[in-house]
Amino acid sequence: MSQLNMNMKEYVEHELHLRFSDFGYDGSLQPTKVCMFFEYARFQIAKDAHLFECFYDIDHDDEVQFPVVEMECEYMKPIYPDMEIISKTTLSSSLPRLDFYQSIVDKNSGEILVYASVKVAIVTRKRGMLLSINEDLKRCITSYLEKIKQN
């Protein structure tokens, strides 16, 4: 996964809370929990970027979904129950697909523990997978990316 972008200058950060049940018998963080942490961060970005409202404004009778179509994940270091960890997520505009680069980082040392590249399609109930998107949605995503750069 060396080709993945490890440069995460403009990202959204979320504090993650580990529970005993998040770990397997061998003491490692369960992969499904990692995916859930990443999913939460992606949905938070979609909410912050007002993506759902943007689609609702386009067509009140349609329903939008953001399915993961590809995910690469690399576990770089183990995560232990007593660690304080955060997730860092950045969105890259590869419209009509959304590319997220995500990591789980040790809050104290700053070391990247898990890194993922996630490609998300934009799908509507009426139109299926979108191969192009309208200007309002482009503006919504671009505005969000500019806001992140300024913070």
Give the pLDDT confidence score for residue 58 in this predicted structure.
57
Q: For all residues of the chain together, what is the average pLDDT? A: 81
Tokens of 80: 């232990």
Residue-wise pLDDT for 17-27, tens only, equals 899 899 988 77
Contacts of 54 (CB under 8 A, 6+ apart): 136, 137, 140
- Record the pTM: 0.79
Tens-place pLDDT, residues 132-148 = 666 777 788 888 878 87
| Tokens linked to 89 | 């997520």
Amino acid (1-letter code) at residue 45? I
